[in-house]
Amino acid sequence: MSAADYDLAATGRAIAEPVRAAMLLRLLDGQTHSARDLAEAAGASPSTASPHLRHLVDAGLVTVAVAGRRKLHALASPEVAAALEALAAISPLLPVESLRQARAGSRLQRARVCYSHLGGALAVSVADELVAGGAVEPLAAGRPGVLRTLEHPLLAALAITDLSSGAGPVVRGCLDWTERSAHLAGRLGSAVLAGMLAAGWLTRRPRDRALTLTGHGATRLARLGVVAPEPERREQPWQACR
């Protein structure tokens, strides 16, 4: 007997619990995390977090690997990451209950990891510059894009002269849930994020998937015509966060 259609309800039930949803958002940084790390991100105790993680693994959304005495969890695939980002774009914002949450939300809005590539206002600015410079054709969210050339000043500054073969499209548009516009994903998007981290333009934060734009990075991007987001302003916290 062939399947009648997709069982969206099954996936919805796996996500539709605040602790599991918070864990999935934390895993959008593209890194592996222990159960303790994910419990902390979700505001849950390790004993409470364990059955939620088993639920996500059983649903095929998360994988787990043993490293010594630790079990490390990761999103199961880029498709899971893309689905989560798309859901975020149509989901209501969580209420802000502290200044710390407001600042965290503001950082996520400016620049963050979107699984394997860059997300946030900076990501949209990078995509706009690559489109304006003729490197890629205009991006459509959720669709493969077209790479015209790697001969672009931004890509040259990041030493991106070729792209290794691999799964997935070279260029893909990914809907940015804060900017409501497409940013750059695919193998080129991954190379841009890796290049910015390696060059010290961006640095990772230890407790969330927000990225810090360094002074060196802001200067280099400005010279390359990329409109970088303003630095964090403590007196003007963002109004919502995830």
Do 31 and 138 lie in one domain? The reply is no
More confident residue, 242 or 139: 139
- C-alpha 239/C-alpha 184 separation (Å) is 26
Mean pLDDT score, 113-140: 94
Phi, psi of 162 (to 5 degrees): -155, 165
Within this chain, do residues 16 and 111 fall inside the same structural domain, yes or no? no
For residues 160 and 216, membership in a common domain is answered with: yes
Q: Are residues 104 and 212 in the same domain?
A: yes
| Residues 143 and 177 occupy one common structural domain | yes
Q: Which residues of 163-182 are buried (b: 16+ CB within 10 A; e: fewer)?
A: eeeeebbbbbbbbbbbbeeb
- pLDDT at position 239 over 80: no
Give residue 185's domain range.
99-223
Shared-domain flag, residues 180 and 111: yes
Contacts for 194 with CB less than 8 Å, ≥ 6 apart = none
What the block records as the tokens of 6 is 């997709």
The whole-number average pLDDT for the span 161-177 is: 85
> Hunting for tokens 């193998």 — which residue is that?
187
| Residue 37 lies inside a defined structural domain of this protein | yes
* Residue tagged 């980002």 (tokens): 85
Instruction: Give the per-residue pLDDT at 237.
Output: 38
Distance of CA 182 to the CA centre of its chain: 13
What is the chain's alpha carbon radius of gyration, rounded to the nearest angstrom? 18
Overall domain count for the chain? 2
In a domain, 158, yes or no: yes
- Say what the pLDDT of residue 4 is: 66
pLDDT at 129 over 80: yes
Over residues 200-227, the pLDDT tens digits come to: 999 998 878 899 999 999 999 999 999 8
* 242 has a pLDDT exceeding 50: no
Q: Are residues 38 and 124 in the same domain?
A: no
**Helix or strand run (H / E) with residue 214:** none
